[in-house]
Amino acid sequence: MNNWLSVLIFLPIAAALILLLLPKRASNVFRPVTIVISVLQTLIAAYLYAQYLKNPHGYHFVERADWINLNLGTFGRLNIDYFLAVDGLSIGLLLLSAFVMLIAAIASNEIKKDPKAYYTLFLLLSAAIMGVFCALDFFLFYVFYELMLLPMYFLIGMWGGPNREYASIKFFLYTLFGSIFMLLVMIGLYFSVIDPVTGEHTFNMLYMMDAANYTKDSYFSIFSTDALLFHYPVRFLGFIVLFIAFAIKIPTIPLHTWLPDAHVEAPTPVSIILAGVLLKIGGYGIIRICYGIFPEAAIYFSYWIGLIGVVSILYGAFIALASTDLKRMIAYSSISHMGFVILGIASLTSEGVNGAIFQMISHGVLSTMLFYLVGVIYLRVQDREIAAFRGLAQPMPRYTLFVVIAFFASLGLPGLSGFIGEAFTLIGAFKSASVNALLPRGFAILASVGILIGAAYFLWTLQRMFFGAPRFKGAQEWHLKLKDLTATEYLVLIPLALITILLGIFPSILFDASNNTINAWVHETWIHGIANLKSMQSLLKF
């Protein structure tokens, strides 16, 4: 059977349709169905991962079919393919997504309002996420990308906290802002790129990555002699626009302000999906699409991209240090940790990019754990102000154990997954200066300071909230409410903690899958980027 990826995408859609047909009063079926579907998806993704590891080169599980084939008269034909495949870059993220969705489904037991709508949207979101990581046709990617937005908007806007409408519309508009420009670039690319086999325009991303497939006079062609807009090569603008679209998703400074609001208002499982999966689509998009299609612009702007990474690391860390709300602190720590991803990618070294992928997956697991842990106390006392708690370790020792694991993993304690990701993005960033001269060495050193501040805010929070003599804002009433973990909570936290430890001790689990793909990717991005840059500089004289 060779259409596992379609199964992965359409399984939740089919389940969503079934849920829609069920009556509303069958409220105790929705969650189990969702969990079963998520388990199946995780198993399939794990199977695919294991299959991929047998021969970790190139694209696997390729599915390709004509999807939309319209005659547009003078514009020629509109060709959109249903083109799915995964490589070392996406397979790990695919597995992570399936797993995070499973955790989120289990964590959804706190959702009491309108479960039918909730789980239908949940499954729709799950399908869209799988699709984003598998699609290699830009149009198909865009469809899935936009499809994610809708359920997410409702999941925050309907099941969120008191200020949910503001947060959800902010999230929606921010993302839409990015994706509208993405649409423009996508259409521009379509009319520039020719399928070398059929001679027609195509949305195929792999063709877009090869400079030879561009028609000579198109705006995005590197051989064009007049493709300037505002005295800037159009390809550069295309890159910038796409980068902004994905930078909003990651999010980087200064496009990040939707994230804390969305997290603070979103219910726990939605926060988990947001931090665990959605942010990774930004990093994935930058590697696959921005760098893949516009390598010369990536090289040209790498200093600035690296700088954005460093600033995100430090800025996020500082604000996390000043945060008084636990969830907000973790949201800003997410921004800081995703900054390492940007920095690693900008280094354009194999260490840096492998590290970035590792960091994304590690952060996916850790942020899932962190947001779930916040949810645990919020569910008990409806409060998550750091100052409202003191000495939580006494009433909740087991809970504190998991908090310690999650915090130390996040602050980069070796032996846990966060360390490997951070260490290799930084090693890559430092190496960049002597391999390709894209980033100054100071970037790696400055970013390392982020690790120090990371230790400071996590340990400070531990000290203030969990240690010391117990004293709670809610006094005696809270003492009764603050019970240690329940069975469901163990079920969520134990696998997450084990994965963190496993990845920290055996990083080859991920590197074995990504290394070949990334080595080739770095090599090609560099070779093509430099060649394109030379050609464009001689033709456009910018």
Note whether 321 binds another protein by CB under 8 A: yes
Start-to-end Cα distance in the chain: 51
CB of 457: closest distance to another protein in angstroms?
8
User: Of the ranges 27-35, 81-89, 298-306, 438-446, which one interacts with another protein (CB under 8 A)?
Assistant: 438-446
432 burial type by CB count under 10 A (0-12 exposed, 13-18 middle, 19+ buried): buried
Counting contacts by CB under 8 A, is residue 442 touching another protein? no
Site for another protein in 340-399 (CB under 8 A): 349-351, 354-355, 391, 393-394
Structure tokens belonging to residue 355: 């590290």
Q: How far is CA 515 from CA 77, 438, 486, 519, 522, in A?
A: 39, 21, 39, 6, 10
248 binds another protein (CB under 8 A): no
Q: Does 431 bind another protein (CB under 8 A)?
A: yes
To another protein, the closest distance from the beta carbon of 446 in angstroms equals 11
Which window, 19-27, 112-120, 370-378, 511-519, contacts another protein (CB under 8 A)?
Answer: 511-519
d(CA 312, CA 220) in angstroms, rounded, equals 30
Confirm if 511 and 362 have CB atoms less than 8 A apart.
Answer: no
CB 152 within 8 A of CB 278: yes
The percent helix, strand, coil of the chain (3-state, each to 5) is 75, 5, 20
Residue 97 half-sphere exposure, CB side, CA atoms within 13 Å?
28
Cα–Cα–Cα angle for 34, 176, 311, nearest 5°?
95
Q: Is there binding between residue 468 and another protein (CB under 8 A)?
A: yes
Binding mask 479-508 for another protein (x = CB under 8 A): ---------------------------xxx
> Please, which of residues 164-183 interact with another protein by CB under 8 A?
170, 173-174
Which of 69, 163, 198, 463 is close enough to bind another protein by CB under 8 A? 463
448 contributes a contact to another protein by CB under 8 A: yes
Nearest to 152 by CA among 183, 182, 130, 122: 122
> Quick check: 255 and 174 in contact, CB under 8 A?
yes
Name which position in 180, 387, 459, 498 contacts another protein (CB under 8 A): 459
Closest CA to 308 of 437, 418, 439, 411: 439
Q: Which of 69, 225, 257, 382 binds another protein (CB under 8 A)?
A: 257
Q: C-beta of 456: minimal distance to another protein in Å?
A: 6
User: Whose Cβ is closer to another protein: residue 227's or residue 353's?
Assistant: 353
Give strand pairing partners of 70. 78
List residues bridging with 86 in a β-sheet. 60
> Mask of contacts with another protein, 120-149, x by CB under 8 A?
------------------------------
For binding to another protein (CB under 8 A), which residues are involved? 170, 173-174, 253-254, 256-258, 315, 318-319, 321-323, 349-351, 354-355, 391, 393-394, 401, 408, 413-415, 419, 423-424, 426-427, 430-431, 434, 441, 444-445, 448-449, 451-453, 455-456, 459-460, 462-463, 466-470, 506-508, 511-512, 515, 519
